[in-house]
Amino acid sequence: MYLRDGKLPFDAMHEECGVFGVYSNETRDVANTVYYGLFALQHRGQESGGIAVAYANKIQYYKGMGLIPEVFAGGRLAALPEGDIAIGHVRYSTTGASLAANAQPVVFTGKCGKTALAHNGNLTNTRELREELIRDNAVFQTSIDSEVMALLINKYSDGDIVKGVLAACERIRGSYALVIMTTDKLIAVRDPYGIRPLVLGKALDDVVVASETCALDAVGAVYTRDVRPGEVVVIDSQGEHSYFLDTAGKKPAACIFEYVYFARPDSVIDGLSVYAARKESGRILARNSKIEADIVSGVPDSGLVAARGYSEESGIPCVEALAKNRYVGRTFIQPDQHMRENSVSVKLNALRANIRGKRVIIIDDSIVRGTTSRKIVRLLREGGAKEVHMMACSPVVRHPCHLGIDIETYSQLIGANKSVEEIRQFIGADSLTYMTVDQLKEACRGARCGFCTGCFDGNYPYSLEDYREDKHKFE
């Protein structure tokens, strides 16, 4: 398992996917463009990846396990044909029986001919949809939601992919940022709440769609706009057309965790810079804090920006307390149990000279299981810190979310089971500060969109009931 930052596996929220698509006005190496785009989205999924290319009424694809450069090493990128349209996907997932089969894009032949679909998000009513489709003679070859969506779109399409997409989206509940391709159309869809981000860009005459703007930058495309919540954008030889799903009674509810942790700091989502939101979080923490400290520091990499904001607001010097080993990756072996216990120390080391005798504020993006935080506190104390004050740039994570917390983690979600004081004792800090939901919203006030804050306060835009049964039944 590849680790982002210095976090322990299963002690982080997990973003499920990144999507990318390109529509070119000439037949060219569109797979290369998708390759660069996916690589810029690698932080959204490190388990598997894939690229599908449409050319001459055909679709050819390759999917595999690993990081994008690994999946397409050994000539496998060059082996993809030139084409006019291409889409791609990176996936994060918990371990399972047949992981390779669950890689995306889903590529299939149906009423609209060759079709490919890549999905970021989670549906909450796949159980009933699966049962209905099975009654209707369908079979499922994977356990991923994207296959349900593919079959539903196909069923309603009558050979018209746009019709199929519009009708299928009326049936599905949950979050979805979709990129769909037939041999002559590229379609981008964002669910009515706009839960997952999706942006459009232009590079010369090509149209590009991606989960985050950092992927537009990576392929030299200029950001044009975010796909609107409930919008279906169709790009073909006639140009770009928009359709809208029924959003009656559905207020935009973009996932606020994108700003906290999921997205890259150089991305701009719904008009708000992720970097700016993180820095503002730090400022807000400072404004509301009475902690006296000598230095403020961030847990690399996602806590660093907030620490800077805290420092600017409070005047407390921002000084690195932790150094990260940049070579931490998937293949690291933990030779024995004793060492596994201490594995945070393989990734992070205290900068003793900076913290010795100091009262240290250490800021992390969020606290999920608490084990990483406990080890960080211990590292800092062993490194000589006089006091360790832990702060999270987000509220207490108390609720399950199909978007980011897998089941194994949920059972150990520290915020669902302990009070803040109990958590403080568990991690061994001198104090522990969380943001409130309102403070976090305040930090993200620049976004053109309302937010889902369900994992903090349980207010989801849709019910989670069937989702949970769903997972237990089909996984």
Query: Please, which of residues 324-383 interact with its own copies by CB under 8 A?
Result: 325-327, 329, 331-333, 335-336, 339, 342, 345-346, 349-354
24 is an interface residue for its own copies by CB under 8 A: no
Q: Nearest distance from residue 277's CB to its own copies, in Å?
A: 10
Q: How far is the CB of 64 from its own copies (least distance, A)?
A: 8
Q: How far apart are CA 43 and CA 192, in angstroms?
A: 25
Give the nearest distance from C-beta 308 to its own copies in angstroms.
Answer: 7
Q: Which is nearer to its own copies, 30 or 162 (CB)?
A: 30
Closer to its own copies by Cβ: residue 45 or 174: 45
For residues 205 and 421, which CB has a smaller minimum distance to its own copies in the complex? 205
β-strands 272-273, 48-55: how paired? unpaired
Beta carbons of 132 and 171 less than 8 angstroms apart: no
The contact mask relative to its own copies for 409-428 (x = CB under 8 A, - = no) is: --------------------
Rule CB under 8 A: choose which of 73, 242, 445, 469 binds its own copies. 73
Nearest residue (CB) to its own copies, 109 versus 288: 109
CB within 8 Å of 467: residues ≥ 6 apart:
122, 123, 124, 125, 174, 402
CB 22 within 8 A of CB 86: yes
Tell whether residue 205 is a contact of its own copies (CB under 8 A).
Answer: no
- 414-to-265, 399, 448 alpha-carbon distances in Å: 26, 10, 32
Count of residues engaged in binding its own copies, rule: CB under 8 A:
85
- Answer yes or no whether residue 61 interacts with its own copies by CB under 8 A: yes
Among 77, 85, 295, 388, indicate the residue that binds its own copies (CB under 8 A).
Answer: 77
Instruction: Print the binding letters for residues 112-151 with its own copies: x by CB under 8 A, - otherwise.
Output: ---x--------------x---xxxxxxxx--------xx
Q: How far is CA 269 from the centre of its chain?
A: 12
The residue among 22 and 150 lying less far from its own copies, judged by its C-beta, is 150
Q: From the CB of 16, what's the least distance to its own copies, in Å?
A: 17
Among 13, 198, 256, 268, binds its own copies (CB under 8 A): 268
Q: Torsion-angle region of residue 75: left (phi > 0), alpha (psi -120 to 50) or beta?
A: left
Q: Is residue 65 a contact partner of residue 100, using CB atoms and an 8 Å limit?
A: yes
Tell me the C-alpha distance between 305 and 363, whole Å: 9
Return the residues of window 273-292 that contact its own copies according to CB under 8 A. 273, 275-276
Q: Please identify which residue in 51, 214, 392, 397 interacts with its own copies, judged by CB under 8 A.
A: 214
- 121 with 129: CB under 8 angstroms? no
For its own copies, the closer of residues 238 and 331 by Cβ is 331
Select from 103, 81, 80 the least CA-distant residue to 90: 103
137: left (phi over 0), alpha (psi -120 to 50) or beta: left
CA angle 243, 244, 247 (to 5 degrees): 175
- The least CB distance from residue 60 to its own copies, in Å, is 4
Binding of its own copies by 23 (CB under 8 A): no
Does 450 help bind its own copies (rule: CB under 8 A)?
no
Distances (CA, A) of 120 to 6, 9, 131, 175, 337: 25, 21, 22, 8, 36
Residue 17 is among the residues annotated as catalytic for this protein? yes
Cis peptide bond N-terminal to 301, omega within 30? yes
| Residue list 236-265, contact with its own copies (CB under 8 A) | 264-265
Q: Is 384 in the site for its own copies (CB under 8 A)?
A: no
- CB under 8 A: which stretch of 7-15, 61-69, 229-237, 456-464 binds its own copies? 61-69
Centroid of chain to Cα 366 = 15
Q: Is the peptide bond before 395 cis (omega within 30 degrees of 0)?
A: no
CB of 108 to its own copies, least distance (A): 4
Tell me which amino acid residue 106 is: V
Nearest distance, CB of residue 255 and its own copies, angstroms: 20
Residue 305, SS3 per DSSP: helix
Beta strands in 371-464 (DSSP E): 387-392, 431-433, 451-452
Between 28 and 468, whose beta carbon lies closer to its own copies? Answer: 28
Is there binding between residue 7 and its own copies (CB under 8 A)?
no
- List active site positions: 17
